[in-house]
Amino acid sequence: MTDNVQSVGLPDERPPANTVGPIAWLRNNLFNSWYNAILTILVLGLLASAIPPFLNWLLFRAHGFDATSTVCRQDAGGACWGFISEKLRFIMFGMFPWEQQWRPLVTIAVFIALLVASCDRRFWKPWFGLVWAAGLALVAVLMWGGVFGLTYVENTLWGGLPLTIILSVIGLAVAFPVSILLALGRRSNMPAVKVLCVTYIELIRGVPLISLLFMASVMLPLFLPNGVSIDKLLRAQIAFIMFAAAYMAEAIRGGLQAIPKGQYEAADGLGLGYWQKMRKIILPQALAIAIPPLVNTFISFFKDTSLVIIIGLYDLLGTAKAALSDPSWRGFYREAYLFIGVIYWIFCFSMSKYSQKLERDLNRGHRR
Amino acid sequence: MSQAMSQGTKPKHTLSGEEIIRCTGVNKWYGEFHVLKNVNLSVQKGERIVVCGPSGSGKSTMIRCLNRLEEHQKGTIVIDGIELTNNLKNIELVRREVGMVFQHFNLFPHLTVLENCTLAPIWVRKMPKAEAEERAMSYLKRVRIAEQAKKYPGQLSGGQQQRVAIARSLCMSPKVMLFDEPTSALDPEMVKEVLDVMIGLAEDGMTMLCVTHEMGFAKSVADRVIFMDRGEIVEQDTPDAFFSNPKSERTRLFLSQILNH
């Protein structure tokens, strides 16, 4: 009888050599079938033919940050990073007066500090709204000036990265609460509210952003009485807010629909009013579910701010294009687009990474 | 049948005679389907009522009408002197006084057990947070789950979640508790812990309406058993009379189906 019982535990053994280690990994992941082996070899070949020339252009044959355009044109086989160092301040700050450009630089720093701080959930308190208000007031003072001995700078001279950040951050921050109201309105029991929200969302979603920007900049003034004019930047900002709100409302509606009916009933059963129920029970869960589509919208809107170039505002993409129109630097578009591409990528990738972290944090221990 | 409850210890108590729920000629339709047909019901303060009947008989719909989770289309429902109409203010007033426990618990998954219990007292009753927490802890102790107060509902078993749901309702100090098949979604070994809590509540004199298939519970704690079939109240009587001497043929058929297996 005791034969069936293991009285002394068996010692741990190492797994067979062909199931662990780099060789096994290669075999499991890259060469696990004949067609995957062919694909692996093809891809490796493609990489081998593409990467060295790119690195050559990017680094080995490139001209450093001190190169002049004349030097670069004589040997065109490599990148000309002199273009970036020459045009850096123009690309970043646009036509902001040269000796005042520390102001947009501080603006960028203020925004980044606010955004980084906002990522910490410990700061998700009502008082942090005051911090944002103070930050935005500081930004307004820095960019416009005209007080505290700062010279006044018209907002037609704003450009580059600060403009991109202002349009997208303020745009998304204002659009977000509006979109929540739109999403709730779309699911409302009140017919008038519902029709209004559905009409708004469907109208805005059915129109390209470009045409909305055109309308804001060209058609809106036609409807305003003579002598009244709304600032061009403000018009673009409003168009962005309207557009972003419609899209985010749909993302949030998706989250709202995922909340089980029982949650509404439990909140009702406890006697919570409509707004208490939404604020305390439904929205916290719906927004957590809506994070991926919301961040998707955030990222695409951050990039879509580059469309303001068509109404004559110079955001980051606009200033890069404008820098290329300098006769002595004409044709260095690879360097220009690669540079701003990296800047856009850093912002968008940070948003994506942060959203993944937030999703993990919010889901921890909550799931039923 | 579940042998969950302590048999034969039915608490002795006398009813005050004060009426807390009155339904008169209540009718409800889902589209063309007539779910509730002329339901008349009067419940006294402290009364423990078990509602049973085959599925689709309208028993859940009836108790869900009592806190307006469902709207009735004809007749009147008066709870503690307040009539349920489209008046939102009245609906909220009634819901404060009527606790509800659901089949699927419906705890708020993004809040801890303690936060689930303090939310409504803080926001609806405007109770200071410290007081709400203290009361919540005492109710969690009463349902024997105080040590899990900091956990999230998703970390608890079904029976534990249902006990938290009962505590959450109790924290509003309701005058009436409605139970909508509170043990139907539970694994068999967890039914007892929930029923024990409900028996404890009954012994303390809480006015209770329970839709349940736990006939043992009905026998040992109910003052009255209501049998519903096809949207109407067919029979109501004390549990002794109801189980030993059912008057209607439909009741006899139902009882034979659930008791003899």
What CATH number has the domain bearing residue A254? Answer: 1.10.3720.10
Alpha carbon distances (Å) from B12 to A200, B8, B179, B223, B224: 63, 11, 22, 10, 14
Edge-to-edge, what's the strand order for the sheet holding B224-229? Answer: B98-101, B176-180, B207-211, B48-52, B224-229, B232-237
| Smallest CA–CA distance from A263 into chain B, residue | B106
Mean pLDDT of B93-103: 92
Q: Do B124 and A368 touch (CB under 8 A)?
A: no
Q: Do B120 and A271 touch (CB under 8 A)?
A: yes
Contacts of A190 in chain B (CB under 8 A): none
Helix, strand, coil tally for chain A in percent (to 5): 75, 0, 25
Among B102, B120, B172, beta carbon nearest to A265: B102
| Domain contains A66 | no
| Domain contains A8 | no
| A322 plus A248 within the same structural domain | yes
| A126 plus A266 within the same structural domain | yes
Q: What pLDDT is attached to residue B1?
A: 39
Position A366 pLDDT exceeds 60: no
| Domain contains A75 | no
Better pLDDT: B259 or B136: B136
CB-CB neighbours of A13 under 10 Å: 6
B126-141 residue pLDDT tens? 999 999 999 999 999 9
| A236 plus A328 within the same structural domain | yes
Q: What pLDDT is attached to residue B7?
A: 44
Better pLDDT: B150 or B14: B150
Q: What is the C-alpha to C-alpha distance for residues B167 and B195, in angstroms, rounded to an integer? A: 13
Q: What pLDDT is attached to residue A365?
A: 53
Least confident of A74-88, A192-206, A232-246, B212-226: A74-88
Among A262, A270, A285, beta carbon nearest to B104: A262
Q: How far is A265 from chain B (nearest CA, A)?
A: 7
Alpha carbon distances (Å) from A26 to A39, A42, A46, A182, B190: 13, 16, 19, 51, 50
Q: What is the C-alpha to C-alpha distance for residues A101 and A142, in angstroms, rounded to an integer? A: 10
B176 sits in which H/E element: strand B176-180
Better pLDDT: A274 or A145: A274
Least confident of A35-49, A72-86, A176-190, B228-242: A72-86
Q: What pLDDT is attached to residue B64?
A: 92
Task: Check CB contact of A121 with chain B, cutoff 8 Å.
Answer: no
| A86 plus A53 within the same structural domain | no
A272-294 residue pLDDT tens? 989 999 999 999 999 888 888 88
Mean pLDDT of A65-81: 76
Alpha carbon distances (Å) from B19 to B46, B47, B69: 10, 10, 22
Interface of A with B in 272-291 (CB under 8 A): 272-273, 276, 280-281, 284-285, 288
Q: Do A270 and B95 touch (CB under 8 A)?
A: yes
Mean pLDDT of A119-128: 82
> For A279, which DSSP code?
I
| A87 plus A203 within the same structural domain | yes
Q: What pLDDT is attached to residue B101?
A: 94
Contacts of A367 in chain B (CB under 8 A): 109, 154
Mean pLDDT of A21-42: 85
Contacts of B69 in chain A (CB under 8 A): 265, 268-269
| A200 plus A341 within the same structural domain | yes
| A33 plus A177 within the same structural domain | no
Q: Give the model's confidence band at B165: pLDDT under 50 very low, under 70 low, under 90 confident, else very high.
A: very high
Among A266, A273, A288, beta carbon nearest to B102: A266
Q: Give the model's confidence band at A141: pLDDT under 50 very low, under 70 low, under 90 confident, else very high.
A: confident
Q: What pLDDT is attached to residue A54?
A: 85
What share of chain A in percent tops pLDDT 90? 19
A234-245 residue pLDDT tens? 888 888 898 899
| A111 plus A217 within the same structural domain | yes
What total of structural domains would you count in chain A?
A: 2
Top-ranked range on mean pLDDT: pick from A145-149, A211-215, A278-282, B9-13: A278-282
| Domain contains A10 | no
A176-213 residue pLDDT tens? 999 999 999 998 888 999 999 999 999 898 888 888 88
List the single best residue of B88, B107, B110 to mutate versus A (max A Cβ within 10 A): B110
Q: What pLDDT is attached to residue B256?
A: 87
Q: What is the C-alpha to C-alpha distance for residues B217 and B209, in angstroms, rounded to an integer? A: 12
Task: Check CB contact of B188 with chain A, cutoff 8 Å.
Answer: no
| A25 plus A163 within the same structural domain | no
| Domain contains A77 | no
| A245 plus A321 within the same structural domain | yes
ipTM of this model? 0.89
Range of the domain at A52: 21-60
What is the residue-averaged pLDDT of chain A?
Answer: 84
Contacts of B168 in chain A (CB under 8 A): 270
Q: What pLDDT is attached to residue B120?
A: 92
**pTM for the whole structure:** 0.82
Interface of B with A in 219-238 (CB under 8 A): none
Note whether B234 and B227 are within 8 A (CB). Answer: yes
Q: How far is residue A140 CA from its own chain's centroid?
A: 22
| Domain contains A6 | no
| A38 plus A101 within the same structural domain | no
Dihedral angle sign, alpha carbons of residues A170, A173, A178, A183: positive
Q: What pLDDT is attached to residue A42?
A: 93
| Domain contains A45 | yes
- The structural domains of chain B, ordered by start, are 19-259 (3.40.50.300)
With H, G, I as helix, E, B as strand and everything else as coil, classify residue A123: helix
| A199 plus A153 within the same structural domain | yes
Q: What pLDDT is attached to residue B4?
A: 42
Among A265, A276, A366, beta carbon nearest to B123: A276
Task: Check CB contact of A263 with chain B, cutoff 8 Å.
Answer: yes
| Domain contains A25 | yes
